[in-house]
Structure 1
């Protein structure tokens, strides 16, 4: 007999995990898609204090994201443009190249609270245009555990045959 799935996440009951990197990136968030039985759709709730962001300017090459602003206001940097956003706004982050890179920053006086909803892929490439980095990541099938993960820059690229024994 299997446990019955409870298909509801109650945002006030989520255990928010704090994250901080330097002075610019501070947030508290909780993913909840697994707990409500979603396997192809990612969902999380995030709170960002005034003047901060939850993550750097980035773009996914496989997964798409959508953000629903619940409370507060901010600036949504999207490709070469920036947009003022507030509660009730829904933000798109399509997959693709740098023209779809995105970053959400709290420019208000109260915490910026939002939902992140995304497709889920076992393999993803994520690009960080401001810093010239990329992330290649593959998860174990049916799991969220990393099988392979590499974060680097294109300057470290090697030739396809580098290190291979060409003698046979």
Structure 2
């Protein structure tokens, strides 16, 4: 875990990582909770270009999330609904099933910037309703790197006893 540098960070000072997947997913972002000395609370800053999203539509079984829109305009897809968002809006994403699935889409003409705040559970299950995938992960410490991470689909499930000696 990163050692706390100081208890104040301005997002303009963050070293952002740019990534892109396909034609719809793209962001410049940084996670910086550990830099603030936080262990059980994650915080990130994201900049999403117009017409893009920073993550697939997903729901968490354990971790709750909160988003604060800083600039730009977008659409918050939450469960079956869509909500317009603008600077100052605060968005909740409670833990739960597909009815709490969510993601942000930049519908404006300038980057959509936001803070994301979440619990940093030691274990998590995430579902991706649009693609039928799930993610199972665990961490050695809250907020730490994943020590176990698996992305799969329910149809690849095996029997509990499959491959065990004597079966």
TM-score grouping bracket, smaller chain normalisation: over 0.9
CA-based RMSD of the aligned residues comes to 1.4
Q: Which whole-Å CA distance do the structure 2 matches of 1:161 and 1:12 have between them?
A: 52
Q: Which whole-Å CA distance do the structure 1 matches of 2:143 and 2:166 have between them?
A: 37
**Counterpart of 2:48?**
48
Higher Cα Rg: structure 1 or 2? Answer: 1
**Counterpart of 2:132?**
132
**Does residue 1:17 correspond to 2:17, yes or no?**
yes
> Moved runs in structure 1, 4+ residues, more than 4 A?
none
TM-score if structure 1 supplies the norm length? 0.94
Query: What is the Cα deviation at residue 122 of structure 1?
Result: 1.0
Report how many residues are paired.
Answer: 165
Query: What is the Cα deviation at residue 145 of structure 1?
Result: 2.1
Please, which runs of 5 or more residues in structure 1 have no aligned partner?
none
**Does residue 1:78 correspond to 2:78, yes or no?**
yes
1:1-168 alignment, distance < 5 Å: 6-141=6-141, 144-166=144-166
Residue by residue over 1:77-123, the C-alpha shift from the partner in whole angstroms, topping out at 9 and shown as x without a partner, is: 00000011111100000000000000100000111000000011110
Residues 72 and 156 of structure 1: CA distance in aligned 2, closer, same or farther (over 3 Å): same
Q: Which whole-Å CA distance do the structure 1 matches of 2:60 and 2:37 have between them?
A: 24
